[in-house]
Amino acid sequence: MNKVTYLIIIPAILASASYKGQAYWRDMQTINANRPQINKPELSSLSDFKITDDHVDLSTGTVRPSLALVDISTKTLSETVNLSYDKGKGIRVNDISSDVGLGWELQAGGYITRKVNGFADESKLMQDAKVGVWANVYTVVPNKQKSANGWLDFANWNSRAYNTPYNGSVVIPGQPYNNQSLGGAVQALAQNIKNNVPVGSFRSLWAQPVSSGTIFTGPGSMIADLGAMFGVGWDLLNVDGEPDEFYFRVGKYSGKFVFDGNRTPTVIPYIPGLKIQSPFNSTENKWIITTPEGIKYTLPNTPEYTETLYSETETTPEYDNSGGINTPDRNEGIDANEYTSKWYLSKVEGISGDYIEYTYENSSDLIYNEKSFIKQVFRAGRHMIQTPPSYFLSSGDHGFYERELPRNTDFRLRAPKRLSAIKTSDNNRIIFTYNGLERQDVDQSQNGANKRKSLSSIEKYDFNNKRISKMELEQDYFTGGCADYKCKRLKLNNLKLIGSDNNQIASTGFEYNMIENLPSRNAFQQDFWGYYNSNSANTLVPEVKYPSAGYDYPGADRRPSENKTKAGILTKIIYPTKGSVEYDYELNNFNTGADVRITNNKTGGLRIKNIIKKENDSASPIITTYQYELSNGQTSGEIHPFLLQMTKEYNNNAAGRLIERQVIEINENTGARAQYMVIYSNPKYLYTEDLIRYSKVIVNSNGKGKKEYSLSSFSTHPDGEKIGRTWRASSSSGGYTVDSQYFTDYFAKYSNAPATTINNPDKSYLRGLTLNIKETDNNGVLIKETTNNYQINPSGYIPTTVYGLGVTSSDLFLAENSNVQEVNYELTNFTSDYVFQGTTIVKDYLGSNNIVSSTENNTFNSLCLLDNKNILLSDNNLLETSYKYANDKQIQKLITANIINLPLETERKKNGKIISKGEIKFDNPANLFPSSAASYDLQSNSMLTEITYDKYDSKGNLLQYTTQNGVSISIIWGYNQTQPIAKIEGAMYNQVEGFISGIVSASDADAAQGTQASENALIAALDAFRNLPNLVTTQITTYTYNPQIGVTSITPTSGVRENYIYDSANRLEKVVDVNGKVLKEYKYNYKN
């Protein structure tokens, strides 16, 4: 059944009034702001799980079914455990199943994960670095490779000489002389780049071997720093040029943030009032995310709550000791990397002191491999040699016409976490048990006896360890064409609901596309995006053709295949009633801008085509179709302009740029150079996170008419432009490493195409907005139209812009030293824009040219909170609503607690005249709870106090409130202060406090024992309480409960009690009176 919930409803309802025709508001809305509302239980759903089966992101065509499995709550907090299907775009060949099943993700708690750009932001040159102090602990990185000067590390250093095992005497930074971060120095450099001001250095750092006994520290070298941003430049360290992108999800909030130049997290796009404290810029070793409601989420930066990703990538043709120096603790044949990849939520705290805690267990390391290849092909060209070189100057290796090099990467996710328990401050719990199938689809060769197993059950317990609910998962495997673990994927078949009597009550089943079996992970049968296709070549390096440039290089067929892309995808959910929902998919396609209908324009991944629902297995289907077409019949699919350009040049299904040029000097006397084309098996310039958007989608539900959606896309909201500059050598030299003395500043506008290390400024948050909806009936007649206008950044709000640098050069060659003649560097940015709906126009077409319309205009204040909402109706009536918040009214305790988005005062006008005004006050300095509620009296034109909240207990439960007419209502809380057991009208709390110990103790005993006898004893105590002579003049209503299930009896003032009886699945079964007579009875019938 639906759990009965008692909430303090602070009047956010005042912010959500809707306007239809002649709209009016009640003056008394604020009265119920903080009073517990106890409702009778409701009939339970037959689905047992709350299933969202038709959630479609129209902008991408992605369907995301989800099931709400179980929830748990405190006074002000709640957590719902959801099971979400996240593979509506298709299953990639290298996808690994979760512990639930392929494509399914368990969503509960929260996390922060990240995309590392360059090097991890928190990378340090010296572990014990402090401003003004010489550090001694040099950071040791995996494989004893170069350490990295990270985005958050110090920018400006004093350097001194050290002796090292392989490099001899070196000068390296050891003492930061101010607190500026590297990210801060990049922000200053960005202004010079934008203003076309050339500089030789942008911070102070020197790190090179000591030559001829001369120690040169200097002010720093910009070109060496730029080179070090892509692995060359400084011989001894790497430099981070761009902030990492962190992604978070806590409660109802999710988004992205980056660190600015002051080491402060900046949310992109902006979320008003959301504060993020970092473990990297505070004394506390944890993330703390505080919402604008004052709720705090804690994610520790400790091993119990983090995951670390370690990887090793082959660097062929380099090999161990390939530099000619014996390095026993370093392997030059690999590039190793390690960083914290994920942080998990440990605790969420409400403003009442209630909390929910999350614990995790370590599962065995997840070990996997991904294949990648690079192909180099010699190409004669102008001012280049016409045949391959005899040998390369640096390595002495022979020249070649063509070679394919592996770039395979071995990954190890160390101590991966999985949620084991959720516990509330009331000691209610959800337990996750991983005792299902031994995972045959992952590498368990190094796990010994501690084999990884799948999630087998989820159970909910109350504070007395009484099981409230249980669900079991039934799984087996998708199988491919081999017996190896790489050919298997864990598959979720059923969710079973188990009653308190341990009998199965119902099950929800899942079916998948089994027409095609997925191949082995790392199989060559992959399209450009990693989905299963029909490639028959024994390579992943794609065929590349570019006739106008003379490119024609054979390779793999990486085009998408609709039938094979569908392999393994979810196709059906079967409900306990044997009703069902089916999903039909098709390949994405995109518009090339041609004037004729385009058919050969498929691109990677799937979109939803049809959703078919049946109420039961014999019912007629209800079919909803999705058409992604413009009015001219062409597809409404749009891809990034760069991808479109590459597709026109290479005819590669929007795969992006797959080929680039490398040049190397092969004769230091003549300066002769060789040119090679490099082809990548994984596109280096692919917008995988925002590949395709649809600008128009028609949703047709049979019998319900059509809705035509117009959406923002690449054509309306493209990504921002980068600023590009180039360093060029002023003269040639005999050396083959980057050296700043050979360079002068050469500024030129560079391409706005994405580079290998950096993308264009991301504006994806402006895409997918609903611009217009047209609704038609079954006859195609327009009945309603809604038009939305969105704006960016309200007046007074100044967004933060964070700049990052990406660097490339075509003068680099694999495993060879290069005389670099040109370095391209590009400036991108991340901007904390706030996007809001400024205007909405709604037109209802009522026939006979009768149109009823409304125009809504929203304005936001400098904190990006809704300030005014004005609605002009078709009869020219103007309805206005204004709001005031904690900052407007200077309620400092709310501001300090970050409770800033709660409307404290709401005023409504009609044609300029006040018709309603409500205010919530927080005058008690001892807590964060409302003290009173007032409303506007239309007769006296003044504010009158409607209700006073007189007394709260230590848990924030309201104990007494007084109405406008002076009547006091007291509330008695039992069940360990979690549920109201009595409401007394006509008495103050201190007048009844001396009589409540018996009923409170009886309720606590009922909570502890949970038997019918304990509940009967509580009812007897409540009846005795109701009949006390001291309370004869009051009106009393009493309640009993089964904790975490629902109310079991309500006895109103009349004394006519209703009892509520639940079945083994905690669903409402009967309503009976005090004599046991059945008043209502409910049956839940499932088909087998």
Q: What is the 3-state secondary structure (H, E, C) of 661-717?
A: EEEEECCCCCCCEEEEEEEECCCCCCCHHHCEEECEEEEEECCCEEEEEEECCCCCC
Residue 165: the pLDDT is: 62
Query: What residue type is 145 in one-letter code?
Result: Q
d(CA 688, CA 656): 10
Instruction: Specify the higher pLDDT residue, 683 or 1079.
Output: 1079
Taking the C-alpha atoms of residue 655 and residue 658, their distance in angstroms, rounded to an integer, is 8
Is the dihedral angle over the CA atoms 538, 541, 547, 549 positive or is it negative? negative
Write down the mean pLDDT value for the chain: 88
pLDDT digits (tens, 9 = 90+) for 443-456: 999 888 889 999 99
pLDDT tens track for 804-834: 998 888 777 777 777 777 788 889 999 999 9
Higher-scoring residue by pLDDT: 617, 717: 717
- Nearest-5° angle of CA 150, CA 368, CA 337? 15
Statement: residue 733 has pLDDT above 50: no
Asked if the model's pLDDT at residue 96 lies above 60, the reply is: yes
Any idea which residue has 């191949």 for tokens? 519
Lowest mean pLDDT, pick from 42-51, 161-170, 218-227, 907-916: 42-51
Residue 15 has pLDDT above 50, yes or no: no
Residue 494 clears pLDDT 60, i.e. is over it: yes
CA dist 862 → 53, 239, 712, 883 (Å): 39, 37, 25, 13
Q: For the chain, give me the number of helices (H) and strands (E)?
A: 9, 66
pLDDT at 562 over 80: yes
Residue type, 577: T
Q: Residue 1009: in which H helix or E strand, if any?
A: helix 997-1009
pLDDT band at 49 (very low <50, low <70, confident <90, very high): low
Give the mean model confidence (pLDDT) for residues 396-413: 94
Q: What is the pLDDT of residue 742?
A: 32
Which position has the higher pLDDT, 46 or 935?
935
User: How high is the pLDDT of residue 1051?
Assistant: 95
Tens-digit pLDDT profile for residues 956-988: 999 999 999 999 999 999 999 999 999 999 999
Q: Are 510 and 493 in contact (CB under 8 A)?
A: yes
What would the DSSP string read from start to end of 470-497? EEEEEEEEEE-SSSSGGGEEEEEEEEEE
Does residue 1040 surpass a pLDDT of 90?
yes
Instruction: Kindly provide the residue ranges of all beta strands, DSSP E only, lying in 61-210, ordered along the sequence.
Output: 62-63, 66-73, 78-85, 104-107, 110-115, 147-149, 157-164, 168-176, 208-209
The pLDDT of residue 736 is 29
| Lowest-pLDDT choice from 412-421, 757-766, 772-781, 946-955 | 757-766
CB-CB contact of 340 with 417 (8 Å): no
**Which helix (H) or strand (E) covers residue 1075, if one does?**
none
pLDDT digits (tens, 9 = 90+) for 987-1005: 999 999 999 999 999 999 9
Q: Is the peptide bond before 519 cis (omega within 30 degrees of 0)?
A: no
> Regarding predicted confidence, which is higher, 668 or 740?
668
Q: What residue type is assigned to position 322 of the chain?
A: S
Helix (H, G, I), strand (E, B) or coil at 225: helix
Question: What is the length of the chain?
Answer: 1088
d(CA 78, CA 636): 40
What is the DSSP pairing of strand 580-589 with strand 602-614? antiparallel
Give yes or no for residue 739 having a pLDDT over 90: no
Q: What is the DSSP string of 322-375?
A: TTSS--TT--TTEEEEEEEEEEE--EEE-TTS-EEEEEEEEPPPEEEEE--EEE
Q: Is the dihedral of CA 728, 731, 735, 739 positive or negative?
A: negative
pLDDT at 748: 36
Bond before 317 cis per omega within 30 degrees:
yes
Q: Which residue has the higher pLDDT, 272 or 650?
A: 272
Predicted local distance difference test score (pLDDT) of residue 600: 57
User: pLDDT at residue 800 above 90?
Assistant: yes
Q: What pLDDT shows up at residue 38?
A: 64
Q: Where are the domains of the chain?
A: 12-40+886-1081, 142-239
Looking at 413-422, 497-506, 864-873, which range is the least confident one?
497-506
The model's confidence at residue 684, banded by pLDDT at 50, 70 and 90, is: low
Separation of CA 667 from chain center: 52
Q: What is the pLDDT of residue 688?
A: 58
Question: Which of 257-271, 399-413, 538-552 shows the lowest mean pLDDT across its residues?
Answer: 538-552
Least confident of 297-306, 652-661, 1039-1048: 652-661
Q: How confident is the model at residue 23 (pLDDT cuts 50, 70, 90)?
A: very low
Backbone φ and ψ of 893, nearest 5°: -65, -35
Between CA 226 and CA 206 the distance in angstroms is: 13
pLDDT value of residue 458 = 98
pTM here is 0.92
pLDDT in tens, 366-396: 999 999 999 999 999 888 999 999 999 888 8
CA distance 807 to 899: 43
φ, ψ of residue 228 in degrees (nearest 5):
-70, -15
Closest CA to 88 of 104, 74, 69: 104
Q: What is the mean pLDDT of residues 1047-1061?
A: 93
Report which DSSP code applies to 585: E
d(CA 106, CA 68): 10
Nearest alpha-carbon partner for 570 in 491, 674, 484: 491
Q: Assign 18 a pLDDT band (cuts: 50, 70, 90).
A: very low
| Residue 573 · residue 581 · CB < 8 Å | yes
| Highest mean pLDDT of the ranges 187-201, 419-433, 442-456 | 419-433
Quick one: pLDDT at residue 746? 35
Quote the DSSP letter at residue 223. Answer: H
Over residues 96-109, the mean pLDDT reads 97
- How many beta carbons lie within 10 A of that of residue 536, not counting itself? 9
pLDDT confidence bin for 186, thresholds 50/70/90? very high
Residue 149 pLDDT > 70? yes
Q: What percent of the chain is predicted at pLDDT more than 70? A: 90
pLDDT of residue 1053: 94
Between the ranges 477-486, 543-552, 999-1008, where is the mean pLDDT highest?
A: 999-1008
pLDDT band at 328 (very low <50, low <70, confident <90, very high): confident
- Predicted local distance difference test score (pLDDT) of residue 1086: 58
Mean pLDDT of the 345-370 span: 96
CB atoms within 10 A of CB 1008: 13
